[in-house]
Copies of this chain bind each other. A is one copy, B any other.
């Protein structure tokens, strides 16, 4: 960390804020690709794609560290006002959630290496495929709500997490029945259970990001009362 007093500040403050938002958007893009590749490597048992996804996680980690440094240095040098401070601190948290999502994607890819050579039944995979589509949708919408500071869109993501949870529970039961039907399915289905759990956690992180987006847009924490209210309004 350079001595802030003697540092020559070359960029405008607004440029720095924009660069921070841009970095989060880029990191989000990388993470979305990783989720897709992680699941695809699993469904196709594609070792090359798995390795690529595992390697990408390093880049995602590096991006988090950079965003962290950028944010902290801005807070220290610029002494931001309340609303800017909120935006900068939120960036730290969103980058943290994205890093965790990247980690989950890496775990999906790693799991595909463990499944190599194991007898596969396509039906086992449908649930994982559908759940991937849903959580990817959640991540994208959460990042959009964050980038555009849209409170209603953020609330929608949070409410839709119930769907992710319901899909997880149903997939959990389905995989359990395959195991009970035939013990030869136990190893494969156990690995897939962990994949389902990873996807469910990606959904949780998307919800975290949406909650942060809501806070950024409104200055208020998203409580279950607000969620319930908006849910009723949508239904009405």
Which residues of A approach B to under 8 Å, CB–CB? 1, 4, 68, 72, 75-76, 79-82, 85-86, 89, 92, 96, 176, 179-180, 183, 186-187, 190, 193-194, 197
A190→B96 CA distance, assembly (Å): 29
Q: By the criterion CB–CB under 8 Å, are B82 and A79 in contact?
A: no
Answer whether A176 and B180 are a contact pair too, CB < 8 Å, given A76-B80, A89-B72: no
Question: Besides the contacts A1-B81, A1-B82, A193-B194, what 5 more A-B pairs have beta carbons closer than 8 Å?
Answer: A76-B79, A79-B79, A183-B183, A190-B190, A193-B193
Minimum C-beta distance from A82 to chain B (A): 4
- Residues in B with CB closer than 8 Å to A92 are 92
| From A80, A81, A89, residue with most partner B Cβ within 10 Å | A89
Closest B residue to A72 using CB positions: B89
Main secondary structure of the interface of A (DSSP, over half): helix
Distance (Å) between the CB of A17 and the closest chain B CB?
Answer: 15
Q: Which of B72, B75, B79, B179 contacts A179 (CB 8 A)?
A: B179
In the assembled complex, the Cα of A76 lies from the Cα of B80 at a distance in Å of 7
A61 to chain B, nearest CB (A): 11
Given contacts A179-B179, A180-B183, A183-B179, contact A79 B193 (CB under 8 A): no
Give the residue of B1, B85, B186, B187 whose beta carbon is less than 8 angstroms from that of A1.
B85
A4 contacts across to B, CB distance below 8 A: 79
Q: Hey, which chain B residues are within 8 Å of A183, CB to CB?
A: 179-180, 183
The distance from the CB of A225 to the nearest CB of chain B, in whole angstroms, is 16
Known interface pairs A75-B75, A82-B1; A180-B190 also in contact (CB < 8 Å): no
Q: Are A187 and B197 in contact (CB under 8 A)?
A: no
